[in-house]
Amino acid sequence: MINLLPPEEKEGLRLQQVKKLVAILGSAVVVIIICLILILFSINYYILGEIISQKFSLEQAENRYKTSDFLKYKNILQNYNKGAAQLKSFYKEGMGISSALENILAVEKPVGIYFSNLSINMRENNDKIIVNISGASDTRDSLLVFKKNLEGKGEIKNINFSPESWINPSNINFYLTFEVY
């Protein structure tokens, strides 16, 4: 084929060819963008539909669990859980308290000393147990012997008698605190 067209027309044809190519590619890009937008809208509506259905399911579940029977059983279970926590706490503290009570009872009491009140408290942050004892003693000498017996126990520390315990020579009401480790 012989090309007899002048160069201006050749340039014009080439320009028209480039314009058609740009128009085709531009329209293809626009169609692709429109398709992506439609796909994103469909995904958006699908997710919104799922959210609405999940909210509806959640409302139904909440309504089902708000019945009086369910709330009654929920309260019963919560009370059992509280009791289990208290039982665990008592068991945890009970082991230390029983050993402390064993140490207290192992101290030899002289004749004439009687306990009227015994209080044992366990501290959570460390392993010491605070013991408060109130009682009566026939004589001051018996009370002094009891104090020496307490000091002789290695597990018992910080023995404190109230000042009123030493005032009377006989028929003494005493108050004592100490720590068991």
Residue-level pLDDT, tens digit, the chain, 181 residues: 567 778 888 899 999 999 999 999 999 999 999 999 999 999 999 999 999 999 999 888 888 777 778 888 888 989 888 888 877 776 666 666 777 778 788 888 888 898 999 888 877 666 678 889 999 999 888 889 999 998 888 888 888 988 888 888 888 899 999 888 7
The residue type found at 67 is T
The number of helix segments (H) and strand segments (E) in the chain equals 3, 4
| Identity of the amino acid at 167 | I
User: Which two three-digit tokens encode residue 64?
Assistant: 């089902």
Using CA atoms, how far apart are residues 118 and 180, in angstroms rounded to an integer?
14
Q: Do 70 and 64 meet the contact criterion of CB atoms below 8 Å apart? A: yes
85 vs 13, 97, 128, 129, 148, CA distance in Å? 91, 18, 22, 21, 40
Tokens of 52: 């609405």
For the full predicted model, state whether its pTM sits above 0.75. Answer: no
Judged by DSSP in three states, 50 sits in helix
Q: Which residues pair with 170 in a beta bridge?
A: 139
